[in-house]
Amino acid sequence: MKIASFNINGIKARIGALTDWLDTAEPDVVLLQEIKSVDEAFPREPFEDRGYTVETHGQKGFNGVAILSKPPLEDVTRGLPGDDGDDQARWIEATVTGEHTALRLCGLYLPNGNPVPGPKFDYKLAWMERLRARAEALLHDEEPLLLAGDFNVIPQDEDAHRPEARAEGRAGAARGARGFSPAALPGFTDAFRARTQGPGHYTFWDYQGGAWRRGDGIRIDHVLLSPQAADRLTDCRIDSAVRAGEKPSDHVPIEVTVDI
């Protein structure tokens, strides 16, 4: 089963780019971030026409996550536990079942956190702590589990074209989060790094300053797997060519294949 994560930066502006990619990559499941739409305004038809069921968790103007899936989804839940006063739409869960086993999916859009310091960075760190708690609770089940999305965290220096992107005072480095990085979330495997080593692999290039043209990217979109899911990983790739397409998102998809 092919499962992808894609920060699309606005669903209404990305229908063409997204459907073009779906028709080429043919993923079974897609975890979307930054749909920037309320649930009622999400354009479901282009995806339902392609055989996907659509589950959204949106809000007006910003943020918002969703799942597109060809196999049926069960037990869909919305929102990251741990703060009833948090109304930002950044987390959705669902279970998909393959031929051999079920897989719990968590789609996430971790706060950007800039500027540092400030209330937005404080919110990011608090959200990461809630993520850690939720991830640990799910990991305790010892079942196949996948967390994927825009983490807004650069794990290592090799994951940025300019190492200063990870400098102290930059939210992407997520300093102050007690050593948290996607690769270091205890018990999880960074699916991309399980398959590919070395620098120069990015998932985001800023619209400004010709970042794509200059190769100035960062790796901030990640897929994390529980041990029971990591055992079933057969492929992981970043679809960087999508960034050169027409009217692209500033992020590109990351795709994993799991034998479930």
Partner DNA sequence: ATGTCGTAACGTTTACGA
- Please give the positions annotated as active site: 109, 150
| Sole binder of DNA in the list 44, 70, 78, 120 (CB under 7 A) | 120
Please report whether residue 215 would count as binding DNA according to CB under 7 A.
no
| Sole binder of DNA in the list 50, 162, 195, 247 (CB under 7 A) | 247
| Sole binder of DNA in the list 3, 27, 29, 37 (CB under 7 A) | 37
- Count of residues of this chain found to bind DNA when the rule CB under 7 A is applied: 22
| Sole binder of DNA in the list 24, 48, 60, 118 (CB under 7 A) | 60
| Sole binder of DNA in the list 97, 101, 112, 240 (CB under 7 A) | 112
On the CB side of 233, CA atoms within 13 Å amount to 26
Among 63, 62, 93, smallest CA distance to 79 is for 93
Q: For the chain, what is the HEC assignment?
A: CEEEEEECCCCCCCHHHHHHHHHHHCCCEEEEECCCCCHHHCCCHHHHCCCCEEEEECCCCCCCEEEEECCCEEEEEECCCCCCCCCCCCEEEEEEECCCCEEEEEEEECCCCCCCCCHHHHHHHHHHHHHHHHHHHHHCCCCCEEEEEECCCCCCHHHECCHHHHCCCCHHHCCCCCCCCHHHCCCCEEHHHHHCCCCCCCCEECCHHHHHHHCCEECCEEEEECHHHHCCEEEEEECHHHHHCCCCCCECCEEEEECC
Closest distance of CB 127 from DNA, Å:
11
Please report whether residue 197 would count as binding DNA according to CB under 7 A.
no
Closest distance of CB 176 from DNA, Å:
17
Q: Which residue, 19 or 228, has its beta carbon nearer to DNA?
A: 19
Give the range of 5-13, 69-77, 97-105, 236-244 binding DNA by CB under 7 A. 5-13
Q: Which residue, 197 or 208, has its beta carbon nearer to DNA?
A: 208
Q: Which residue, 58 or 144, has its beta carbon nearer to DNA?
A: 58
Please report whether residue 61 would count as binding DNA according to CB under 7 A.
yes
Please report whether residue 207 would count as binding DNA according to CB under 7 A.
yes
Please report whether residue 217 would count as binding DNA according to CB under 7 A.
no
Q: Which chain residues interact with DNA by CB under 7 A?
A: 9-14, 36-38, 41, 60-63, 111-112, 114, 120, 207-209, 247
